Amino acid sequence: SQQGEEDPQALSIQEGENATMNCSYKTSINNLQWYRQNSGRGLVHLILIRSNEREKHSGRLRVTLDTSKKSSSLLITASRAADTASYFCATDAILTGGGNKLTFGTGTQLKVEL
Amino acid sequence: DVKVTQSSRYLVKRTGEKVFLECVQDMDHENMFWYRQDPGLGLRLIYFSYDVKMKEKGDIPEGYSVSREKKERFSLILESASTNQTSMYLCASSPRFRGEQYFGPGTRLTVT
């Protein structure tokens, strides 16, 4: 099964509203990352939060991490139609040679309507 | 600007054909990855490489092989394509000790 599981699977909101997506995982992590994927395209890295961090901000994005509950949330504030995409969390394992091997969840499909 | 390119956006092949998917990155990254993405299953790691001529199996390597002769290029090979390999294939790269990965636009492969 996937290391990361996102919730909800799909989310539809109005422009200007906030969108919250959650991710749960099973094993200890080094860091947790969030990615966005526009329809039929590659993934774009949004934000990385390390296991010793509890909250991180980047523009309209806010990520929290609770390692005791093995969960993370991504909040997008003041959403725009351009935020319509799939969002994935990814947990990592350190590779022998350096770098990180990511395990992705199945994603949350966000639709922001005008 | 960071760039990962993949040789084709769309590809249609017949069952039994040998298929090559090429990925090139211009960021001098040590690590490169191949994933496949299927509805309801998310992204699954096929193979990765953390150095030239080095390769490691991911979670679903069966039916695939890879080649990394140069640092910037990582090829995925389907030795004998089958219909269950119809999927979106995504290549990614990352610096050696940094977590975030940079993805190419993907190749949607259909095997008939």
Question: What pLDDT is stored for residue B70 in this prediction?
Answer: 96
Q: Which residue out of A41, A47, A48, A58 would a mutagenesis test of the B interface target, given it has the greatest number of B Cβ atoms within 10 Å?
A: A41
Tell if the CB–CB gap between B43 and A31 is shorter than 8 Å.
Answer: no
Could you give the CA distance from residue B29 to residue B39 in angstroms, rounded to a whole number?
Answer: 29
User: Is B88's pLDDT higher than 50?
Assistant: yes
Residue of B nearest to A5 (CA): B42
Segment-wise mean pLDDT, segments of 10 residues, chain A, 114 residues: 73 96 90 93 94 96 96 97 96 70 90 95
**Contacts with B88 from chain A: Cβ below 8 Å:** 40
Range B55-79 average pLDDT:
96
Q: Name the token pair of B106.
A: 């993907």
Helices and strands: H and E segment counts in chain A? 0, 11
Q: What is the pLDDT of residues B9-59, one digit of tens each?
A: 999 999 999 999 999 999 999 999 999 999 888 899 999 999 998 899 999
